[in-house]
Structures are given as structure tokens and as C-alpha cells.
Amino acid sequence: MSVSSGTTREAVIEELSRLGAIIEGIERDTLFVTVKRDVLRDVAKSLYNLGAYFRTCVGSDEIQIRGYLALYHIFSFDELGLNVVLRVDIPKLHPSVPSIVTEVPAADWCELEARDMVGIEFTYRPVKRLVLPEDWPEGIYPLRKDFSYDSRPPPKQLPRPETNKEVGLPLGPYHPALHEPEYFEIYGKGETVEDIVYRGFHVHRGIEKLAESRRVTYEDIFYLAERICGICGFVHSCCYALALEKAAGIEVPERAMYVRSVLLEIERIHSHLLWLGVVAHILGYDAGFMHTWRIREKAMVVAEILSGSRKTYGVNTVGGIRFDLDRDRIAKTLNYLKVIKEEFTEFLKILLSVPQIKSRASGTGVLPRSDARALSVVGPVARASGLYRDVRKDYPYLAYSEVSFRVPLYTEGDNLARILVRVDEVFESIEIVRQLLDKIPEGPVRAESREIPPLKKAVAAIEAPRGEDVHFIITGVGRPYRWRVRAPTYQNIPALRAMLRGTPLADAPLTIASIDPCFSCTDRVVVYDRVSGRCVRLKLTDLAGG
């Protein structure tokens, strides 16, 4: 479903007002709205029926500044280029709010996370632990302001588990088919999958909590953000920058926006090539794995030419970038891109003709368009199921409005379609980089005025290789008051149940891999040792290794 016929920004505002929502104001592409708890479900349902996608929700402890806990539901009207942020104020003594999961299924995970981390209870839905372990003590919420990031709460005693309880077939947390610590319980009958349960959040690094501590500044968080993900770290760094600069009203020089865009597309190229190699490996075609990574190596060289580093570039700063490009770097980049395109084109003739690639990928792991829409999946997963969603087109940021490119779209919704979307995107990214380098303007690369006033809110989104990356920020003094990160994998994992139910067990590794899952950027909250009951204290120097 796309935006309903006749829906305009004015129609959205009119509908919100009719339902009793209070329009706080609109800043650039974001409409801020206050909603009372008793009408929240009606407002959420109405926005969804008007064609909005659900992006994420954010629990925030604002007792110190406003006397309330707050819950922010972030919707997007992609075809209108409009974010709608619903804020619900929740009293500390009775911190409950109606769930919107019945109306908006994509809100499932973030509601449970807000419950775990901020202590917001949800009515009209079953609840369980999502992020925190089962033996985390009651009444202690890590993202409350009165919880210190180096606290060590004692574990809660748990009853002995039932010995006769049904146990699913474990896949992970360490498995030859998986490349990060992730754990799925697969329930099946014979060789057919009947259900799948994800039990994640094994890689917890305290990123959101650390960003609020006195140990960091706005500038330090660029390095922190870039270590959220080992593959698309620059995406997180840029998304944080966009959110912060939007909140502060900082105008970034045009040349800096071009350079950021170039590096984002180089990151997309090497990420997709990495993923294609992994898929070839999962399907038993290791020669394909080697060739894809051989081609990817040239993209990594390009990243080093442009930034000085293969990864974790460290080039962003408030209001721009720390370096500039010269003609020699641009010429070398264009030469490498030409070779990458030629070698990738030649290799695809072989890759897509390998029998096991088509036979194992075609018709497997199907995600129907209706399920993709209900779960608000993002990136290649959405575009392979017929949803035209790409932040670069819907909410043009940086220099993307200055270039021409096609958004690959398939309707089959299977593993093969997700492969083909990424294949097409490699070629589109190469052309985007060529256009950007051809048009790059002269001028400064850093804004002169970089003041950041407190208590300003903003939402920023960037199209990462895996899909839409969303950062929400409330500015503070010297550092964010609240910084929320929602990575693409966080939005796509729940769709695996729809993809795998009723399918052969042998297709599970490929289907799981087809969303290009990144668990390190999904698991980002706290480090807690269940055996010792100890929270591990993190230092900035501990993050140097990514």
C-alpha cells in the first residue's frame, strides 16, 4: 500500500487535528505532534490507513526536564517526504500506554524495548523481555537518567526451567552458516518449518547509554556511531550527523555533502559485494565467494584512497567533514570504478547461470507484499517484495537530489529477487559516484557556525546497504539528551517468520542471510553478565577495535 489517493500534507494535519492530536509544529520534513494516551491507537491506525509506514518508537526519560516519561512513535509518508512524530507523555507513577501493535504490527519490537529499557508498560498486548535477560532485576531500567552506565545490579533468582518444555531446533548463536552471534529457535514438523523465534541481543555495547554520559561530547559520538556496524559504520556516522545538524539548524557546505554521498555509495558497493559472496558460500559455490570478494577488494582500496582508511573513516564532524578531495584521488577512484564494473559484469554472467543459485533461491523465502507492508520492512527486502521505498528518493539528503539513478524493484519477494535487487544496486551506485565526482562543486567542507542549542529534536534517515537507518535525537548540553538508533536489521528480522513458515528447513540459512542481517548494529544496549551479575564498564578506548 502506498499513500492513499488524495493524501496530502494538509490532509494528514487535518486528520490528526480531527482526532484530537495537538500539532506542535513542522520543521523541514518532520511534523511533531502531541497525542493523549486515550486516542493514541486511533491516531496510529488512521496514519497507517492513510498510507504511512512505521519507522520506530523511542522511549525517553524526560522527568528531569518535563516531569514525564515520553514515548515517540515515528511514522513516515514516503511519497510525501514527511515524517510524523507522535509524542505521548506518560506519568512516572503510572507508566503505561496503549500498545499500537494490533493496528501497526511493525511496532512490536520497539515497544518491548521501551518497556525493558525505560520502564514503559504497554496494555492491549502480551509482553516479554526483548533486550534484557530474564534474570534482570525488576524496577531497574538502563535508559532512565537515574541509572549509571557502570552500575552493577544483582541478578534476579529465576525458577528452575521446566524439563518437559518443547525446545526448538537451535540455529546459533555460533554456527557455520552464521557470521555473527545470533540465535534462532526453529520449530518444525519433519523437514518443514512451522515457526521460528529469534532470541538475540547477545552483542550489547552500551552505545545509546554511553552517548548520554559525561565521558563523551558531540564530536566523540561520531567515532562511537561509526562503530555501531563494521560494514556500514559511515552510514551511522552520517545519520547521526544529519540528525544533529538538522536539530541545530546547521547548514552543511555543498561540497561536504557531495563527499559524504560518495563515501556512502562506496560503502554500499563493498557491502553488497560482501553479501553476494556470502550467499554464494552458503549455496556451496565457494568459487563465487572468492571472485566476489576479489572484486570487492578494489572497492575497499577506493575507500582508502578517498578517506585514508578501508573502514571507520573518521571523516565526519559537526557541520561537515575533516578533509577534502583532490584531483588525484578523484581520478584514481574513477579508474577503479571502471574496473569494478567491468569485472563484476563479466562475473555475473557466470554467477547467475550457476544451477544451484537459481534453483535454491527462486521461489524460496517468499515475503508477500502485504506482509512486507504490515511489518514496514526496509531496503532490498522491501524492494524485492514490490515496495518502492528508498530514502535517497523519498527524503533526498546530502547530494542525492543532484544525481539521477534508478531504484531496482521486483515483485516476487523471494531470495532470488533480493539477490537481484542488490546486483542492480551495485551498478546504480557506481553511476551515482561517477555523477557526484563529475559535478562536485568547489567551496569549503565545514560550516562556520556549529552551535548546538539544547532540547531540540530531529529525525534523520539514510538509505544504508541493508535499508533505512533512522536516528532520533534530543540535544542536550555538550552531548545528546537522548539518542536513539534504529538499524535496518532491527526492522527486517521480524519478517523472517513470514518468510520461513511452511518452507523446507534446508532453506533457513539462505533465507536468514537474504535480509543481510547485521546483529552487532541491532544489539547495542548494555553489557550484562548473567553468571556474575555484573555490568561491564565500557571506555571509549575499548571501542577502538570496532
Q: Specify the pLDDT at position 161.
A: 57
pLDDT at 5 over 60: no
Multiple choice CATH, 9-123, 3.40.50.10800, 3.30.460.80, 3.90.870.10, 3.30.470.20: 3.30.460.80
CB 318 within 8 A of CB 312: no
Express each pLDDT in 330-344 by its tens digit.
Answer: 999 999 999 999 999
Cell (9 digits) for 439? 559535478
CA distance 266 to 34: 40
Q: Specify the pLDDT at position 534.
A: 43
Q: What is the mean pLDDT of residues 146-168?
A: 70
pTM of the complete model: 0.90
pLDDT at 461 over 60: yes
CA distance 221 to 51: 34
Express each pLDDT in 396-452 by its tens digit.
Answer: 999 999 999 999 999 999 999 999 999 999 999 999 999 999 999 999 999 998 999
φ, ψ dihedrals at 82, nearest 5°: -130, 125
CA proximity to 368, closest of 356, 347, 386? 386
Express each pLDDT in 436-453 by its tens digit.
Answer: 999 999 999 999 989 999
Q: What is the homologous superfamily of the domain 220-483 according to CATH?
A: Cytochrome-c3 Hydrogenase, chain B (1.10.645.10)
State the DSSP H helix or E strand holding residue 212, giving kind and residue range, or none if neither. helix 207-212
State the DSSP H helix or E strand holding residue 369, giving kind and residue range, or none if neither. helix 369-374
Q: What is the mean pLDDT of residues 503-510?
A: 89
pLDDT at 179 over 70: no
The residue ranges of DSSP E strands in 117-264, in sequence order, are 121-123, 169-171, 184-189, 192-198
Could you tell me the residue ranges of all domains in the chain? Answer: 9-123, 220-483
DSSP three-state, residue 406: coil
Q: Specify the pLDDT at position 535.
A: 39
Q: Specify the pLDDT at position 213.
A: 84
Q: What is the mean pLDDT of residues 490-494?
A: 93
State the DSSP H helix or E strand holding residue 97, giving kind and residue range, or none if neither. strand 96-98
Q: Specify the pLDDT at position 199.
A: 74
Q: Specify the pLDDT at position 309.
A: 92
